[in-house]
Amino acid sequence: MTDTLICVGTILGVHGLKGTLTVYSDTRPASGIAGYSCWYLGMDADSSKPYAVSRCWQHGNKGMLAELEGVNTRTQAEQLKKIKIWVSTDEIDVDDDEYLWEELVGCDVYVDGKLIGSVKALEEYGAQDILVVETPEHVSMQGEWMLPFTEDVIQMVDMEERRVDVCLLDGMDACFTPKS
């Protein structure tokens, strides 16, 4: 596969008798997953296979229902349960001030020009997203920073340099958890 794929959801199960899939969407909003006409299905990106999306619609808070070409029976749909849904990053529209979480993973994070670690993950906690930063191996105090992904904290993101500059506001030392 030459496309770079990103996981946007998971098939949870089957709805009805005609192969309709129950889908959990990782997109924001949840209905954003319906905007892709081709899903790649597989446990990982490398083993995924393309499926044309015939129809996709909201079902509950974060749930979606979907019909895929070639999946016409409950038996066919049940074989896809727990499979990940991937889309090509070329299909994802990202504004200049937005970033795909997967693109930020591995970026170096600096405070006042000093490296404090690299992005390990981003996590969603409702009020705001959290940038999880793991300290470099060479520092004496190993641990993890959990920094709010807000304008006050995230000062600059340079994807070409793979660098994130942050400002640690008063009291943010509580956002650091040392490894034991």
Fold type of domain 101-175: SH3 type barrels. (2.30.30)
Q: Which residues pair with 126 in a beta bridge?
A: none
The third-level CATH classification (topology) of the domain covering 5-91 is: Elongation Factor Tu (Ef-tu); domain 3 (2.40.30)
Query: Which residue has better confidence, 140 or 146?
Result: 146
User: Residue 140: pLDDT band by 50, 70, 90 thresholds?
Assistant: confident
Model-level pTM?
A: 0.70
Dump pLDDT digits (tens) for 17-35.
Answer: 999 999 999 887 888 899 9
Predicted local confidence at residue 1, as pLDDT: 43
Query: Taking residues 119-124, what's their average pLDDT?
Result: 90
- Per-residue pLDDT, 62: 61
Contact 74, 19 (CB under 8 A): yes
Indicate the residue type of 101.
Answer: W
* Extents of the domains making up the chain: 5-91, 101-175
List Cα–Cα distances, 23 to 37, 91, 118, 123, 140, in angstroms: 15, 19, 32, 20, 44
Residue 92 has pLDDT above 90, yes or no: no
Please give the average per-residue pLDDT across 55-78, as a whole number.
Answer: 91
